[in-house]
Amino acid sequence: MDSLTISDTQNNNNNANMSGVPVIELRDIHKSYGTLKVIKGVDLAARSGDVIALIGSSGSGKSTLLRCTNLLEIPQQGDILIDGEAVRWKAHHDERQPADAVQVRRIRTNLSMVFQQFNLWGHLTILQNVIEAPVTVLGRDPAEAARFGQSLLEKVGIGDKSDNYPSQLSGGQQQRAAIARALAMEPEAMLFDEPTSALDPELQGEVVQVIKDLAIDGRTMIIVTHDMKMAADVANHVIFLHQGVIEEEGSPDQLFKKPKSTRLRQFLSSTGA
């Protein structure tokens, strides 16, 4: 285990998805809060190695869609498939809930999420933060988990901070630690919810570079972001959400250089992209 690299892990994931079945597939997802319809029938497919950027104005449904993907939010309608396996449901509409708790745990283990806020445990060192879930959830040997965790901290550029506590790190370093913690679960895909939005501009670049490196490694990712440059540089597919529906999608070149939708043109103009 200690000799396993991120690239090795990704190669294993790629081999598992040679059939072309999407790692993540969303079909006709609907999500409402009371009378407020936030997601109105969205389809999405992320195959192995895809990096999908979700862009759009605040309130367009980006983060809600991401949270539906790993069942932090429960859609009232639609199907969620992970490696072709559909989430099983009980009840309908507002009463709808996953029917299999074991399946939900497996899905969340395979879809590591990195949030806007770093959510590191303040009483644990950075290395302890990274290995906590692999040891307690996956049952990894603590020594092996520590060796692998240290290699991940090296990967994200903070190998010298393993014995520090979160309060001793900058925001950018904390977010890189959060990414290492997500990678430590050896997920099939990673979900990022505005990973740079809580950072000062001068700290954003170091986190973006880590995400770029993961993309180069072939890591499957869905990224919610307001950073159009990151979306253009990292993603191979961009989805523009507007009022809960997909207004336009395609390659970064298509969306950023030749947008078809008036709404997308207006959005890009407002962001300076």
Q: pLDDT tens digits, residue range 92-116?
A: 888 999 999 999 999 999 999 999 9
Task: Give the mean pLDDT of the chain.
Answer: 92
Pair 220, 13: CB distance under 8 Å: yes
pLDDT for 7: 38
Neighbours of 15 (CB within 10 A): 9
Whether pLDDT at 12 is above 50:
no
CATH code for the domain in which residue 184 is found: 3.40.50.300
pLDDT for 18: 53
pLDDT for 16: 44
Could you report the per-residue pLDDT of 212-250, keeping only the tens digit for each?
999 999 999 999 999 999 999 999 999 999 999 999 999
Whether pLDDT at 251 is above 50:
yes
Query: For residue 163, what pLDDT band results from cuts at 50, 70 and 90?
Result: very high
Residue 257 lies in a domain: yes
Pair 171, 203: CB distance under 8 Å: yes
Could you report the per-residue pLDDT of 25-59, keeping only the tens digit for each?
999 999 999 999 999 999 999 999 999 999 999 99
Domain of residue 78: give its range.
6-271
- The closest of 216, 263, 186 to 16, measured between CA atoms, is 186
Residue 1 lies in a domain: no
pLDDT for 19: 58
Alpha helices (H) in 137-186, listed in sequence order: 142-155, 171-183
How many domains are contained in the chain?
Answer: 1
Residue 139 lies in a domain: yes
Q: Residue 219: what are its φ and ψ, rounded to 5°? A: -70, 130
Query: For residue 2, what pLDDT band results from cuts at 50, 70 and 90?
Result: very low
pLDDT for 201: 87
pLDDT for 220: 98
Mean pLDDT of the region 172-192: 97
* Distance separating alpha carbons of residues 1 and 188, to the nearest angstrom: 17
Mean pLDDT of the region 7-12: 42
